């Protein structure tokens, strides 16, 4: 998409931000070698790079995958992430770091965790050790403790099986600098090739920390009084939920049923293959947890999916979130291992999904999670246009509806006066000859995002496909909310019971946006984020001296 012209003032602000970030880039850790020069982003202009999302988190440069260590602490949301700082493909993993006050605008920070002699740093979680159970902080200044997998590539190369172990590091300055625990690993490998992605929560009833760990076809639960010593509690699986790919990035958390207030446990499990529209996807179970064993009530026979698009993987939730007990905040990696390393971006690869609010409801199909985009995105709303299709014949030119201000991120809402989901297609086309479309097909009762007319044969065999998700006919008032950023579509079908998150890449400039479909479709389009100092307002900042 095109950028609308910005006032000179903001250009100067951008240059200043860029100059300060260039300085930051000269640290030895992030200084790339010559042959890695392609991943050096020009921070003054990177929001004008082709495909760079404007209101989604992306690394300043280089490779990113899973969100890690999501934690809310002293007014800041911290997001760490799987990061290979020297390349735009996966490699020796570090934890990148960013913070936000509202889950919309992010500030970049220095890399938090680096590989060491025990291995590279794979996915994991962070807890605030309020009772100082590990003794790394004090009760006045509790330590943040990161629990993560260390992957020893040398052991793997030597043909050993036990190359994944769990280690911890702690921070007493609010998550900006980290110290390794000297007695790592805290959980050695029992001889399992896949033994990773610890997610830790505090279980008040048993007064124990609980670790959920992915181990091939199951989740292993461990308990600990102090985060340093772990005892095996139980296995969940095999033979439950999705069996089509290995399990990764589990996340166990309590949540109250939105209506009854009953306490339930949700177990999120990312599955490496066989998601509803192919490749990697995020599934979940709902059930009970007694401190040792998870017993599912839904999701065991037929897997439940958190998202029906192809690009929401490794979704995990915030620990210590400032939310009530019936909401849980989380973020997913907005890509798919089928093509993540080949997508046509150069200086960086991958974005995160918008942060989502999860709530649990009784529905006609049983208990289900609903996802909505965090309301703070509404702050980005600026100019607004309404459209109303008077005829179902000619397409509505949404560019014209928007007048002069065809621009970057948009929020589109669609409804009809009758309160039914209308038959509609919104099609974006570029001067490079690509189109992507999305909408609802009434005859099949399904939502769709159609990437089949994007030319991707040079880099992926699976990317250019049509993705569908059945409409849940029991949802009332099926208002449809769509967040369209440069290179991503988040279509929150059925009020959030059927979200679809897909990325897309159009060659050249976006040249048209048309709406086809039923007469009487009403809609609203908001231009998003133009008042921000940069379209996405991600700035590189020094860590605060005192939080
Ligand atoms: C999921 C995953 C995790 C692992 C990490 C490595 O995308 O494969 O299981 O910890 O990525 O980067």
Write down the mean pLDDT value for the chain: 88
Spatial neighbors of 385 by CB under 8 A, at least 6 apart, are 401, 402, 403, 524, 525
Report CA(68)–ligand 1 centroid distance (Å).
10
**Considering 325, 346, 373, which residue would you say is the last residue of a domain?**
373
Q: How confident is the model at residue 19 (pLDDT cuts 50, 70, 90)?
A: very low
Whether residue 24 is contained in a domain is answered as: no
Are 217 and 326 in the same domain? yes
Whether residue 166 is contained in a domain is answered as: yes
Report CA(450)–ligand 1 centroid distance (Å).
28
Give the pair of three-digit tokens for residue 321. 């979130």
Positions marked active-site: 66
**Considering 322, 353, 373, which residue would you say is the last residue of a domain?**
373
Give pTM, 2 decimals: 0.91
Whether residue 20 is contained in a domain is answered as: no
For residue 71, the model assigns a pLDDT of 98
Number of compact structural domains in the chain: 2
**Considering 327, 352, 373, which residue would you say is the last residue of a domain?**
373
197 is in which domain, residue-wise?
34-373
Q: How confident is the model at residue 362 (pLDDT cuts 50, 70, 90)?
A: very high
Are 426 and 346 in the same domain? no
Are 239 and 120 in the same domain? yes
The closest-lying atom of ligand 1 relative to the alpha carbon of residue 66 is: 7
**84 close to ligand 1 (CB < 6 Angstrom):** no
For residue 459, the model assigns a pLDDT of 97
Q: How confident is the model at residue 133 (pLDDT cuts 50, 70, 90)?
A: very high
Asked if the model's pLDDT at residue 538 lies above 50, the reply is no
Whether residue 9 is contained in a domain is answered as: no
CA separation for the pair 155, 308 (Å, rounded): 37
Are 224 and 92 in the same domain? yes
Report CA(270)–ligand 1 centroid distance (Å).
10
Whether residue 139 is contained in a domain is answered as: yes
For residue 4, the model assigns a pLDDT of 32
Instruction: Write out pLDDT tens, residues 67-86.
Output: 999 999 999 999 999 999 99
**65 close to ligand 1 (CB < 6 Angstrom):** yes
Q: How confident is the model at residue 47 (pLDDT cuts 50, 70, 90)?
A: confident
Are 194 and 82 in the same domain? yes
Are 469 and 367 in the same domain? no
Question: What average pLDDT does this structure show over 347-359?
Answer: 96
For residue 102, the model assigns a pLDDT of 92
Q: How confident is the model at residue 481 (pLDDT cuts 50, 70, 90)?
A: very high
**82 close to ligand 1 (CB < 6 Angstrom):** yes
In Å, the largest CA–CA distance within the chain is 70
Give the Cβ contact number of residue 442 at 10 Å.
15
**Ligand 1 pocket mutation, candidates 59, 62, 69, 82, criterion most atoms within 8 A of CB:** 82
Instruction: Please report where in the chains the tokens 């397409």 appear, as a residue.
Output: 395
Whether residue 504 is contained in a domain is answered as: yes
Are 232 and 298 in the same domain? yes
Asked if the model's pLDDT at residue 363 lies above 90, the reply is yes
Are 309 and 275 in the same domain? yes
Give the pair of three-digit tokens for residue 223. 């308990």
Report CA(220)–ligand 1 centroid distance (Å).
16
Asked if the model's pLDDT at residue 268 lies above 70, the reply is yes
**314 close to ligand 1 (CB < 6 Angstrom):** yes
CA separation for the pair 449, 440 (Å, rounded): 9
**68 close to ligand 1 (CB < 6 Angstrom):** no
CATH for 482: 2.60.120.560
Q: How confident is the model at residue 20 (pLDDT cuts 50, 70, 90)?
A: very low
Are 260 and 178 in the same domain? yes
**196 close to ligand 1 (CB < 6 Angstrom):** yes
**534 close to ligand 1 (CB < 6 Angstrom):** no
Are 366 and 385 in the same domain? no
**Ligand 1 pocket mutation, candidates 83, 314, 333, 340, criterion most atoms within 8 A of CB:** 314
Burial code (b: 16+ CB inside 10 Å, e: under 16) for 524-544 equals ebbbbbbebebbbbbbbeeee
The closest-lying atom of ligand 1 relative to the alpha carbon of residue 270 is: 1
Asked if the model's pLDDT at residue 547 lies above 60, the reply is no
For residue 477, the model assigns a pLDDT of 66
Are 360 and 452 in the same domain? no
Burial code (b: 16+ CB inside 10 Å, e: under 16) for 366-396 equals ebbbbbbbeeebeebeeeebebebeeeeebb
Whether residue 22 is contained in a domain is answered as: no
CATH for 213: 2.115.10.20
Give the pair of three-digit tokens for residue 28. 């030895």
For residue 44, the model assigns a pLDDT of 60
Are 490 and 408 in the same domain? yes
Asked if the model's pLDDT at residue 65 lies above 80, the reply is yes
Whether residue 290 is contained in a domain is answered as: yes
């Amino acid at each position: 998409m095109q950028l609308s012209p910005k006032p000179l003032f903001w250009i100067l602000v951008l240059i200043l931000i860029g100059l300060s970030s260039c300085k930051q880039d000269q640290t030895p850790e992030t200084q790339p070698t010559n042959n890695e020069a392609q991943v050096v982003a020009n921070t003054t202009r990177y929001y004008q790079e082709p495909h760079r999302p404007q209101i989604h988190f992306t690394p300043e440069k280089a490779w990113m995958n899973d969100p890690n260590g999501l934690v809310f602490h002293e007014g800041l949301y911290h997001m760490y992430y799987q990061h290979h700082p020297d390349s735009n493909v996966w490699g020796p993993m570090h934890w990148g770091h960013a913070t936000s006050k509202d889950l919309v605008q992010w500030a970049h920070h220095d890399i938090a965790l680096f590989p060491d002699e025990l291995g590279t740093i794979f996915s994991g979680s962070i807890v605030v050790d309020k009772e100082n159970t590990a003794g790394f902080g004090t009760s006045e200044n509790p330590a943040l403790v990161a629990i993560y997998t260390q992957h020893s590539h040398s052991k793997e190369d030597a043909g050993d099986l036990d190359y994944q172990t769990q280690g911890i590091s702690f921070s007493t300055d609010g998550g900006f600098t980290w110290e390794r625990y000297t007695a790592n690993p805290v959980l050695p490998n029992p001889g399992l090739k896949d033994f990773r992605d610890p997610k830790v929560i505090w279980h008040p009833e048993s007064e124990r920390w609980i670790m959920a760990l992915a181990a091939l076809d199951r989740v292993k639960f461990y308990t600990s009084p102090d985060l340093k010593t772990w005892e095996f509690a139980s296995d969940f699986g095999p033979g439950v939920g999705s069996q089509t790919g290995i399990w990764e990035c589990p996340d166990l958390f309590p949540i109250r049923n939105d209506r009854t207030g009953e306490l339930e446990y949700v177990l999120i499990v990312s599955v490496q293959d066989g998601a509803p529209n192919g490749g990697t996807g995020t599934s979940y179970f709902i059930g009970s947890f007694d401190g040792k064993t998870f017993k599912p009530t839904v999701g065991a026979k037929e897997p439940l999916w958190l998202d029906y698009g192809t690009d929401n993987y490794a979704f995990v939730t915030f620990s210590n979130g400032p939310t009530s007990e019936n909401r849980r905040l989380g973020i997913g990696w907005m890509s798919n291992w089928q093509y993540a390393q080949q997508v046509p971006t150069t200086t960086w690869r991958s974005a995160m999904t918008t942060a989502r609010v999860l709530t649990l409801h009784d529905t006609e199909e049983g208990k289900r999670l609903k996802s909505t985009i965090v309301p703070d995105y509404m702050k980005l709303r600026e100019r607004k246009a309404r459209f109303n299709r008077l005829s179902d014949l000619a397409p509505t030119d949404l560019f014209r509806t928007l007048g002069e201000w065809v621009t970057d991120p948009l929020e589109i809402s669609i409804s009809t006066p009758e309160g039914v989901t209308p038959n509609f297609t919104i099609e974006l086309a570029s001067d490079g000859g690509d189109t992507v479309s999305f909408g609802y097909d009434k005859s099949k009762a399904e939502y769709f995002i159609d990437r089949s007319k994007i030319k991707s044969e040079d880099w992926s065999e699976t990317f250019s496909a049509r993705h569908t998700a059945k409409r849940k006919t029991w949802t009332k008032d099926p208002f449809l909310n769509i967040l369209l950023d440069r290179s991503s579509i988040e279509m929150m079908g059925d009020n959030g019971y059927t979200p679809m998150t897909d990325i897309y890449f159009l060659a050249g400039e976006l040249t048209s946006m048309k709406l086809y479909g039923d007469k009487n479709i009403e809609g609203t389009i908001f231009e998003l984020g133009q008042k921000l100092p940069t379209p996405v307002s991600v700035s590189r900042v020094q860590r605060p001296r005192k939080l």
